[in-house]
Amino acid sequence: MMRYLRQVLTIAGKDLRVELRTRERVAAMGAFVVLTAVLLNYAVDRTVIHPRELAAGMIWIVITLAGLLGLGRTFELEKEDGALEGLLVAPVPRDALYLGKVLANAALLGAIAALTLGVFALFFQLTLPRNPLPLIGVILVGTVGFVALGTLFSGITAGSRMGETLLPILLFPLLVPLITFGASATASLLAGFPPEEAVYSLRVLAAFTLVALTAGVGLFRFIVED
């Protein structure tokens, strides 16, 4: 068990170290978030609706799109210099490899999600709840669920001719629960309702994440080449 955990952490550490040295994905995703928020400001007619009223939903859409931008690169990176072959011959079970990648992607996208929340709060004068823990919990659980599915599917798209363009087609139909309950919980927390109101949504998000992780752990071994 400890050994397995160490393997997962090693894979995640490797991915995060690569990211820390190049800072390519963080820069691309971070800039994407800020610029999308800027565009949103001009896309909305303020005499009709204030962007604040769209914030909860837009935050989730932006996290999803930024996540797509970063996830597509998960396995592209490994294509260079036969890095993937190296990973696959390492004495690590395939599911540990998957979980390590999910962990690294979740850390990355979690940071981007926090940035998204901050940017929206700054640009559109959101009042963040005094106790931010429930909101952080909702966004974290949702992010892990998204990354769990996205990492599995990016393994597929990296092996196909269409590459990253295929990712949204595979991923978006399955994200309806995430967006529905993520946005509703976020909206209720941002509106200052007591955290108990978001418990049901958080539960469904957790179920989604659990299903996604289970599917990923069980199926990942079939999509990496033997």
Partner 1 sequence: MSLRSVRWAGALLGFAGVALTVLFHWQVFFWVPTEASMGIVQRIFYIHLPAAWVAFFAFGIVALCSAVYLWLGEEKLDHAARSAAEGGMIFTTIVLTSGPLWARLAWGTWWTWEPRLTLTLLLWFIYLGYFLVRSSTENRERSRKFAAVVGIVGALNIPLIHMSVLWFRSLHPQPVVARTDGPQLHPDMATTVFTALGAWTLVFLSLFLLRYGVARMEAEAERLEAAEASARPLGEQGVVTP
Residues 140/51, Cβ–Cβ less than 8 Å: no
Query: H/E/C letters for each residue in 30-90?
Result: HHHHHHHHHHHHHHCCCCCCCHHHHHHHHHHHHHHHHHHHHHCHHHHHHHHHHHHHHHHHC
Q: Least distance (Å) from partner 1 to the CB of residue 65?
A: 17
* Interaction residues for partner 1, span 141-200 (CB under 8 A): 149, 152-153, 156, 159-162, 166, 169-170, 172-174, 176-177, 180-181, 184
Q: Least distance (Å) from partner 1 to the CB of residue 48?
A: 20
Q: What is the rounded CA–CA span in Å between residue 155 and residue 71?
A: 9
Number of residues interacting with partner 1: please give it, by CB under 8 A.
28
The yes or no reply on residue 57 touching partner 1 (CB under 8 A) is no
Q: What is the DSSP string of 128-143?
A: --SS-HHHHHHHHHHH
Q: Least distance (Å) from partner 1 to the CB of residue 11?
A: 20
Q: What is the rounded CA–CA span in Å between residue 33 and residue 116?
A: 6
Task: Name which of 124 and 153 has its Cβ closer to partner 1.
Answer: 153
Q: Least distance (Å) from partner 1 to the CB of residue 157?
A: 8
Binding region for partner 1 (CB under 8 A): 149, 152-153, 156, 159-162, 166, 169-170, 172-174, 176-177, 180-181, 184, 204, 207-208, 211, 215, 219, 222-223, 225
